[in-house]
Amino acid sequence: MRVSFGTAKRRGVVVGLVVVVLLSTVTGVAAAQSVRGASGTIVVEEGQTVSSVDAVAGSIVVRGTVTGDVSGAAGRIHVAETGRVEGSISGAAGDIRIDGAVGGDVTAGSGNVRVTETARIGGDVELGAGSVRIDGRIDGDVRVGAETVVIGPNAEIGGELRYDADEFTQDSAATVGGGVVEDPDLRGDVGTLTVPNWLSWGFSLLANLLLGAILLALFPAFSARLAGRASDRPGKTGGVGLLTLVGGPILLAVIAVTIIGIPLAVIGAFAYGLAVWVGLIYGEYAVGAWAVRRAGRDDRWLALVAGIVGFSVLGAIPVLGGFLVFGALLLGLGALVLELRDSFRSRRRSGPSDRQSTFEESFGESGA
């Protein structure tokens, strides 16, 4: 997954990433030969050597040696004066500070970046940030887009410095071997980094599990009936899901034609997007419920985990995985629409009821 930090959006994107990081980490210090995963604080201590760091953390601190690359998202990334990264650094963070040595490139999106007078970077530097100060040695080229860029008196840039900034200051003692170029075309083209696939997959899985748990906890009977409906008449349910998926945007476009309809269309677009997500969760849950019943179990929570985790794994299969997930979406979206219709009719006749339904009651003869 590629993420670009444009001048106008850098702060928002970085803050969003940092908030996600801080909400998803745990307290502790992680250090190993190859550091991967999530932790509160990852520290490579002075005198310690690790092969690489690829993680989500509250802080990533390098005081020792990393023989490979450092990549990830964190509230703070710091290469101390004693630290050495023999590979490259790629990351998103609220604050990035380099006091030590980096053998390769530095590519980052951040709120604030500081390359101090003790820093030594052997490759190119590409930054998208709110504020950047460079006061160390960089052997390669520098491309930076920020609100504020300051080139300090100790800066030694071997290649070209190309920038796009609202405020730019260069000390007369700084040296730039390849010249300085102001380039407005850098807007939206700097600070590009690669977010690890496992990170994208993990956050997606956790988000789906969380939404599924909320739906089951708040609407247990509705969810059970929906799963039974999807299992009982998958053809009809999937067809309704397809009509809803295609017809929703068309209806919103028709509403938006009139001036008074534009606000309604905007609200409807958000509702439609949420319905599609909920439909996908319910579709995966329905398939998980069917599988769990085939195994002789009556456990809605096990069904939720089995369905969402199962489709997360199946979705990784080229081509086939996409079709399977799309099928679950149509099944869940159709069941959601039909169940909402029937629930509305039932409430109008007899008033609200949320009696707990069991799998046996919801699936009926289809589960036999």
Both structure tokens of 210: 């969380």
The CB density around residue 169, as the number of other CB atoms within 10 Å, is: 12
**Whether residue 220 sits in one domain with residue 161:** no
**Whether residue 262 sits in one domain with residue 142:** no
**Whether residue 227 sits in one domain with residue 150:** no
Q: What is the pLDDT of residues 114-131, one digit of tens each?
A: 999 999 999 999 988 889
**Whether residue 107 sits in one domain with residue 16:** yes
Between residues 245 and 15, the one the model is more confident about:
245
Question: Which of 162, 194, 226 is the endpoint of a domain?
Answer: 194
Between residues 156 and 53, the one the model is more confident about:
156
Per the document, the length of the chain is: 368
The CB density around residue 243, as the number of other CB atoms within 10 Å, is: 14
How far is residue 212 from each of residues 221, 333, 354, measured CA to CA in Å?
A: 14, 14, 18
| The predicted structure's pLDDT at residue 258 | 65
**Whether residue 207 sits in one domain with residue 61:** no
The CB density around residue 314, as the number of other CB atoms within 10 Å, is: 17
Q: What is the pLDDT of residues 282-332, one digit of tens each?
A: 999 999 999 998 888 888 999 999 999 999 888 878 778 888 989 999 999
Confidence of residue 33 (pLDDT cuts 50, 70, 90): low
pTM tops 0.85: no
| The predicted structure's pLDDT at residue 22 | 38
Between 232-246, 313-327, 350-364, the lowest mean confidence (pLDDT) is in 350-364
**Whether residue 322 sits in one domain with residue 215:** yes
Burial of 190 (0-12, 13-18, 19+ CB in 10 A): buried
**Whether residue 201 sits in one domain with residue 190:** no
The CB density around residue 176, as the number of other CB atoms within 10 Å, is: 19
Both structure tokens of 358: 């069991």
Q: What is the pLDDT of residues 145-173, one digit of tens each?
A: 888 999 999 999 999 999 998 899 999 99
Between 97-111, 243-257, 267-281, the lowest mean confidence (pLDDT) is in 243-257
Q: Contact 149/168 with Cβ under 8 angstroms?
A: yes
Both structure tokens of 361: 């009651």
Confidence of residue 35 (pLDDT cuts 50, 70, 90): low
**Whether residue 171 sits in one domain with residue 96:** yes
Any bridge partners for residue 35, and if so which? 53
Containing structural domain, residue 155: 2-194
